[in-house]
Structure 1
Amino acid sequence: MLTNYITTAFRALKRNWSYSVINILGLALGLACCLLLFVAVRYELSFDRHNTNANRIYRMLGVSATSPDSKPNTGITFPALAALRNDFPDMKHQLTMVSRVRSAVVSVGGQGNTEKKRFQEPDGVVTFAEPEYFNLFDYTWEKGNPKTALLNPNTVVLTDRMAHKYFGDANPMGQVIRIDNQMDFVVTGVVQTPPATSSLPFSVFLTHASVVAFGNTSPVDDWGSSYGGAQIYMMLPPTMAGAETPAAQMEHRLDNFVKKYHTPETAKTLRYVLQPLTDIHFATNTSNYAQRSISIEMIWAMVLIGLFILGTACVNFINLATAQAIRRAREVGVRKVLGSTRSQLLRQFMGETGFLTAIAVVLALFLAQVSLPYVGGLLNVIPDAVTLFSPVVLAFLLFLGLITTMLAGFYPALVLSGYQPIVALKAKIQASQSGRYLTLRRGLIIGQFAISQLLIIGTIIAYYQMNYFRSVDLGFSSDAVLTVKLPGNEPGQLENLRAKLRNVPGIQSMSFGMTTPSSTLNWTTGFRFGTDENAYDFGILMRPGDTSYARTYDIKLLAGRMYQSADTIRELVINETFMKRLGFQKPEQIIGKMMEVAGSDVKKPIVGVVKDFNQFSLRDRVEPSVLTTMRSNYHTLGLKLSTQQGGTDAINRIVNEVQTAWTETFPEFVFSYEFMDETLASFYKSEEQSYALFRLLAIIALFIGCLGLYGVVAFMAETRTKEVGVRKVLGASTAHIFGLFSMDFVKLVLIALIISSPIAWYIMNQWLQKFAYKIEIEWWMFALAGTLAMSIALLTVSSQSIKAALMNPVKSLRSE
């Protein structure tokens, strides 16, 4: 019996090969999309889950008690660790602090006859850590003792990958590495490289016992300032049923901790909360050391889109199967007369669907494997971290194939097996069933195009939001601005570098500062204004820079003047938002007022007010900000280049001259640079990737829908050959025949647009809400999506409808 089913399925596939190809291709595309999205979702959901105690580990955050909507601060001041261990001795070994070294230079060798090698390690590679760090997080030790490896000063633990990078096949134990040409560390341990799905992707662990000597506590090491520096993690006891969660209990205890160690004014505005380790990857409003996050909404969007696309492929199958049902009516009648039961026929037709699905599954696996590198790049998935040939993924594909067989094949099989043999043999099926099938097919086509237009509308709105990011006025200029990191700012170094660069043709202006105006590195601090002794319920962002800072980045002065040159804080310039938060409406009113900032108890004058500029991405609103001098915090060189020098060659020449001057000033470090507009674009990397992915999925969904539409129209043209011939004999024009086939489908596309538009508006409006600065959704975006979908549908229909319209009526009538 099974052999008979397979033989029959193969014959049906061969007899209707064009429709079978459409079905197989549609199913394969739908299955491939589902498979790739499953792999991506599984990858995202696995972040930090490799840690045995992942559900018990929390990160400590500082939040505003008076402004719950403000952005949480991940940086915790250094004294907090010792104070926590003092107040909570029961958690002494379940607490740890990590503090990354930004863009560190690792030097190896250089002693005796060995050649010194330097490696520029990006953020998220080098960190200060304690032995307790390995109590919380899972690492497999290859060499060394986890309890003592980081106990003493000037020690370091490496991952096996970094050990091989620095020392090759030599034994790394006892070897010495130098960090930022500043301090030597002896290798005392080697651990296996953590999985790519880690929010703490560190590979070089410096002992926390050397953090102060290294100078990582700058600019201040007190309770009143956070420099985005250290993060504190803690492991709490397991949750007990029926009681308040350990996290909630700990947060209550931390309220008293704040009151004990912070000033009364700060205690009114600051709260410490605990963020689960497993939530860090999905918290887009807080930073993490992996510099990568994704929202849960995005995860659900990927799941739903995958299901939608698979649904459109199944709709194709149902459409074509029901369209061809009339053809097979006599076959069903004959089989029933010969003794076949309905259950046998049901199994036969489901078997045919399963046969087509099996071919589609194999093709889908091939398509997914070929496109995995491209899709992985869109989704920022590490290629080595995913595979399509793992047991879980293959089991999912098998499950997907079974579900697809049921979804696509059950209804057509039910219809075909239900024919009455007498009616089927008398060829009366067409008259009795065609109306019901037509209604079904129309409904399914509407559903297909509603899904397609939903994706198209979302893609159009995302496109214009991304364009808005690129074109909006940020309050400063990023065009032709070259930024270079400074490994040091010792006396004479900055002056020497400035003198070398002053005469380089093509450099209009240069400035030393802590960061560029818009940056992920932020220093938040408190302040006191005027004679008011009470602390305000918000902090301020410090933007230290020299007197050329505003000119280099084209920050507009609204009133007063820029501050004068100094090595420490001498005068202050504030932004509009800060001025208004202090209660002033006109910039001139605040000039001359006195203020204390950055933990200083010495009041400094406000000498100017600048136009607001975005300090973060456009997801966040402009925050109160202060510009001032502070040489000890100059870590970035900004160079405004002339756009009149002409072309890439001129830019390359300037970069080479800057590199020469920089290397002469800092000979022990590795030169690196960025163009500021590229840095700003990286703020929206996740949005760009999402937009590119959804654009691709929208095209695929529309293509699958058009495949089905093509098949249905082809079948209609084939079954209505006699009708077309009669109409032409009676004088119908080619345009009339074309309209006969086309107008019904245009109506269906319009109905789909009406259905999808409110849904798309709601979803995209929710997506836009996460941006402080966003576009307005306009009516023409929906009209554009409808026009696009309608044009593609007409183009799909036209090939078959024109072919039918041009057919010789004599041949049409004779063929019947």
Structure 2
Amino acid sequence: MIKNYLITSFRNLRRNWNFTVINITGLTLGLACCLLIFFTVRYELSFDRQHKEVERVFRIVQHNKADGDKGYNAGMPLPALAAIKSDYPEVKDLIACTYAMRETLVTIGEGASRKKFSEPFYSVSFIAPEYFKLFTYTWLKGSPATSLKNPGTVVLSETQAKKYFGDADPMGKTIRVSNHRDFLVTGLIKDPLPTTSFPFNTMLSFSSLKDYGSFTNWDDWVSTYGGGQMYIRLPESLSKERMEQNLAIMSKKYRAPKDAAELELVLQPVDDIHFDNRTPNYAGRTISKGMIWAMVLIGVFILVTACVNFINLATAQALRRAREVGVRKVLGSTRGQLLRQYFSETGILTIVSVVFALILAQIALPSVAEILNIQSKGIVFVADPIILVFLLVLAIVTTVLSGAYPALVVSGYQPILALKGKMRTTGSGQSNLRRGLIVLQFTISQVVLLGTLIAYSQMKFFRTMDLGFEKDAIVSMHIPGQGPGQLETLYAKLKSEPGIKDMSFSAFTPMSRSNWQTGFKFENDAEMLDFEVVMRPADTAYVKTYGLQLIAGRMYLPADTMREFVINEAFVKKLGFKKPEEVIGKRMAIGGSGVKLPIVGVVKNFNTYSLHREIIPCVLTTDRGNYRTLGIKLAAGSSPALIEKVEKAWTASFPDFLFKYSFLDETLNSFYEKEEKLFDLFKILSAIAIFIGCLGLYGVVAFMAESRTKEMGIRKAIGATAFNIFSLFSVDFVKLVLVALIIASPIAWYFMNEWQQDFTYKVNISWWLYVAAGIFAIVIALITVSFQSIKAALVNPVKALRSE
């Protein structure tokens, strides 16, 4: 019996090969998308789940209640570590501070054999032994309890050790960090999993941090560094709520009353760090759970679109198969047997599609992984049992979704009516169903298309918005250290180059991922005000180099330490002054300093953070000890060889370090990498959804053209033109696309408006986007319909009238 079902199914599929190809193509694309989305969702949800009892491990985060959801800061003041250990001994061995470094130079060996490695942000970090009581690592050599106990020790990941020392045993060897201090290798661990928010591969002993001389203040409860974070494991006897109450008590004990009232300390679950867009993490990668479920929804939509194709084509072919059903029923077939017959056909299509989808998904995986920033090297879908189980479930669901309705409809035909050929597919419930399903397909397609257009508008807005400073033709590079006269020597070597227009030494570029926020005291206030300022230490050429606009007062005078301040408009407004001139001459003290210095100028607002955040109060001042960036403004038409000259001068000034540079506009574009990748994903998904929808539309029109051949012949015989016949096929489908646009527009607006909530600066969703989406969908539908309608219109009416 099963053999008979299969033979008959193959025969029917071969006979209607064109519809079979359409169905397989649509299902293959739909299943491949579902498979890749399942893999992506599974990957994202597995972040930081590898640690034992991770549900009891938390990151201590500062929350400025005045700033709401924008006021979360992952950085913690360093004195809090000793305070928590002292005041709450039950957790003193369960709390650890991780002080991750910015881009760091690591040197191996001496003399001619010396090798230099530039390690990226946060891959090198100072770590205390307590860290390994919170997080799970596989140790190959050394001990979590002792390897980082002593100053001057380091633990390397397996890949990092191989990079530094090749196949040699790294234990007992030394590395030099930033040409500042040697560290002895005392431990070796397996590489962190890709799904981690802690991508440390070079772990330095935390006890070395003070001696190392990082920019830290062990007595400052105000200033924070984003790379200095604190983590705590709570014993079972201590609840999250109770510990947060303890932190509030500690804050009141050590902080100024205003700071303690404004800045609350909250515990953020470690397994939630990856999904919280309010705070960054060391991996530099977050994704909201809302976005994950949106991906799941899109995957479901695309699969439904593919299944709709099958239903549409199957019901369209119902008339052709009516006599077959009548004969089978007359010969004794039961409805159950007919159901099994049609489900076997659907099953064969699904199985073939699953195989093709598996191949297509494996081929597409590297490209998709690159777009979504997923590490996919070495992943083979057929070797993953969870993937195979998912595919099996997906195949069953697809078979049921695609085959249930057509099988029930066709198997329910009355044999007498079927044999007399009195079954109809037009003007009936089946016809209305097909129209409804086409509307559903194009609704899904246009929701994704509108999302793509809105994402494009937002990204264009980011690229063209006035940031308050110049970003084009500016090259920035890291300054690794400052010996006596080094900055002046480098400046002297570069200032004579004709291609260099301006240059400035500073701590940061105007907009930067690295930021220094601190409190301040204004005028005669004895306590700090209830908001922080972002610092931009820089020399006097900073304003000219980056094109900032001085709107009141003057630029501060040259100095090596803080002597005078220039502030931005946002700071003036926050202080309550109406005009920038009113603040000139006022005095303030920054951070823990008790010395109040004058404000001598005001600059026009410029963005210091990405466009996810609003412009906040900013202070420019001289502070040579914090200059870590050289910005060079290139003249128009500068030769590429100029960079080589800059490198030569830089290398002569810092021979022990590696030269690296970046163009400021490219760096700023990278701030929106997540949004750019989302836009790329939208483009791909919208193209697939539209393509699958057009496949189904093409199939339905093809069947309609075939079933109405005689009608077309009569119309042509009485004078209908090819355009008349094209219009006959097209008008109904254009109406359906317009209905789909009306349904899709509010859905797309809602979801994209929610997505835009992550941005302080966002583009308005204009009406023309909906018009553009509608026109595009109509054009695509007309092109799809035209293939078959024009073919039908050009058929010789004599041949058409002879057809049965």
Please say if 1:234 is aligned against 2:227.
Answer: no
Residues 723-743 of structure 1: per-residue CA shift (max 9 Å, x gap): 111111122111111111110
Query: Map of 1:288-307 to 2, 5 A cutoff?
Result: 288-307=281-300
Aligned residue identity for 1:412 = P
Counterpart in 1 of 2:719?
731
Query: Map of 1:154-233 to 2, 5 A cutoff?
Result: 154-218=152-216, 221-233=219-231
Counterpart in 1 of 2:408?
414
Q: Distance in 1 between matches of 2:227 and 2:683?
A: 38
Query: Map of 1:327-338 to 2, 5 A cutoff?
Result: 327-338=320-331
Q: Distance in 2 between matches of 1:656 and 1:671?
A: 10
Q: Distance in 2 between matches of 1:283 and 1:490?
A: 41
Please say if 1:758 is aligned against 2:746.
Answer: yes
Q: Distance in 2 between matches of 1:374 and 1:183?
A: 41
The SS at the match of 1:744 is helix
> Which of 134, 149, 157 is the aligned partner of 1:136?
134
8 A Cα contact 2:48 2:271, kept in partner = yes
Residues 474-529 of structure 1: per-residue CA shift (max 9 Å, x gap): 00001001000011023211111111111122111111111101011111111111
The SS at the match of 2:679 is helix
**Change in CA separation of 1:598 and 1:387 when aligned onto 2, cut-off 3 Å:** farther
Superposed structure 1 runs of 4+ greater than 6 Å apart: none
Please say if 1:771 is aligned against 2:759.
Answer: yes
Aligned residue identity for 1:741 = F
Counterpart in 1 of 2:424?
430
Q: Distance in 1 between matches of 2:752 and 2:139?
A: 47
Q: What displacement does 1:237 show?
A: 3.0
The SS at the match of 2:80 is helix
Counterpart in 1 of 2:698?
710
Residues 438-494 of structure 1: per-residue CA shift (max 9 Å, x gap): 100000000000111111111111111100000000000010010000110232111
Range that drifts further, 526-535 or 253-262 = 526-535
Query: Map of 1:48-127 to 2, 5 A cutoff?
Result: 48-110=48-110, 115-127=113-125
> Which of 793, 807, 814 is the aligned partner of 2:781?
793
Q: What displacement does 1:682 show?
A: 0.4
Please say if 1:284 is aligned against 2:277.
Answer: yes
Aligned residue identity for 1:809 = P
Aligned residue identity for 2:31 = L
Q: Distance in 1 between matches of 2:707 and 2:475?
A: 67
Q: Distance in 2 between matches of 1:294 and 1:40?
A: 11
Q: Distance in 1 between matches of 2:798 and 2:49?
A: 71
Please say if 1:515 is aligned against 2:503.
Answer: no
Please say if 1:401 is aligned against 2:389.
Answer: no
Q: Distance in 1 between matches of 2:762 and 2:137?
A: 43
Q: Distance in 1 between matches of 2:13 and 2:733?
A: 27
Range that drifts further, 69-78 or 517-526 = 69-78
Q: Distance in 2 between matches of 1:565 and 1:2?
A: 90
Aligned residue identity for 2:749 = W
8 A Cα contact 1:67 1:537, kept in partner = no
Query: Map of 1:491-570 to 2, 5 A cutoff?
Result: 491-570=484-563
Q: Distance in 1 between matches of 2:309 and 2:235?
A: 53
The size of the alignment, in residue pairs, is 803
Q: Distance in 2 between matches of 1:24 and 1:380?
A: 30
The SS at the match of 1:225 is coil
Quote the sequence identity (%): 56
Q: Distance in 2 between matches of 1:684 and 1:224?
A: 29
Aligned residue identity for 1:668 = D
8 A Cα contact 1:449 1:749, kept in partner = yes
**Change in CA separation of 1:760 and 1:487 when aligned onto 2, cut-off 3 Å:** same
Aligned residue identity for 2:279 = T
Q: Distance in 1 between matches of 2:664 and 2:71?
A: 24
8 A Cα contact 2:69 2:278, kept in partner = no
Q: Distance in 1 between matches of 2:276 and 2:378?
A: 22
Q: Distance in 2 between matches of 1:97 and 1:90?
A: 17
**Change in CA separation of 1:305 and 1:466 when aligned onto 2, cut-off 3 Å:** same
The SS at the match of 2:93 is helix
TM-score by length of 2: 0.98
Aligned residue identity for 2:388 = L
The SS at the match of 1:457 is helix
Q: Distance in 1 between matches of 2:697 and 2:98?
A: 58
Q: What displacement does 1:720 show?
A: 0.2
Please say if 1:635 is aligned against 2:628.
Answer: yes
Q: What displacement does 1:385 show?
A: 7.2
Counterpart in 1 of 2:370?
377
Counterpart in 1 of 2:573?
580
Residues 284-342 of structure 1: per-residue CA shift (max 9 Å, x gap): 12111101111222111111111111110000000000000111111111111111111
Counterpart in 1 of 2:564?
571
Q: What displacement does 1:52 show?
A: 1.4
Q: Distance in 2 between matches of 1:528 and 1:500?
A: 40
The SS at the match of 2:168 is coil
Structure 2 unmatched ranges of 5 or more: none
Q: What displacement does 1:384 show?
A: 2.4
Q: Distance in 2 between matches of 1:253 and 1:598?
A: 26
The SS at the match of 2:192 is coil
> Which of 680, 702, 717 is the aligned partner of 2:668?
680
Q: Distance in 2 between matches of 1:775 and 1:223?
A: 38
Q: Distance in 2 between matches of 1:525 and 1:116?
A: 40
Q: Distance in 2 between matches of 1:603 and 1:491?
A: 28
8 A Cα contact 1:577 1:622, kept in partner = yes
> Which of 439, 444, 459 is the aligned partner of 1:466?
459
Q: What displacement does 1:543 show?
A: 0.6
The SS at the match of 1:383 is coil
Counterpart in 2 of 1:693?
681
The SS at the match of 2:275 is coil
Q: Distance in 2 between matches of 1:219 and 1:480?
A: 36
Residues 129-168 of structure 1: per-residue CA shift (max 9 Å, x gap): 0111111111010001111000001000001111111111
The SS at the match of 1:538 is coil
The SS at the match of 2:720 is coil
**Change in CA separation of 1:93 and 1:479 when aligned onto 2, cut-off 3 Å:** same
The SS at the match of 1:68 is helix
The SS at the match of 2:503 is strand
8 A Cα contact 2:475 2:663, kept in partner = yes
8 A Cα contact 1:77 1:229, kept in partner = no
Please say if 1:255 is aligned against 2:261.
Answer: no
Q: What displacement does 1:70 show?
A: 3.3
Q: What displacement does 1:671 show?
A: 0.9
The SS at the match of 1:66 is helix
8 A Cα contact 1:572 1:626, kept in partner = yes
Q: Distance in 1 between matches of 2:51 and 2:527?
A: 44
Aligned residue identity for 1:572 = F
The SS at the match of 1:249 is helix
Aligned residue identity for 1:225 = S
Counterpart in 2 of 1:29?
29
Aligned residue identity for 1:594 = R
The SS at the match of 1:61 is strand
Alignment RMSD: 1.3
8 A Cα contact 2:78 2:217, kept in partner = no
Q: Distance in 2 between matches of 1:667 and 1:261?
A: 44
Counterpart in 2 of 1:16?
16
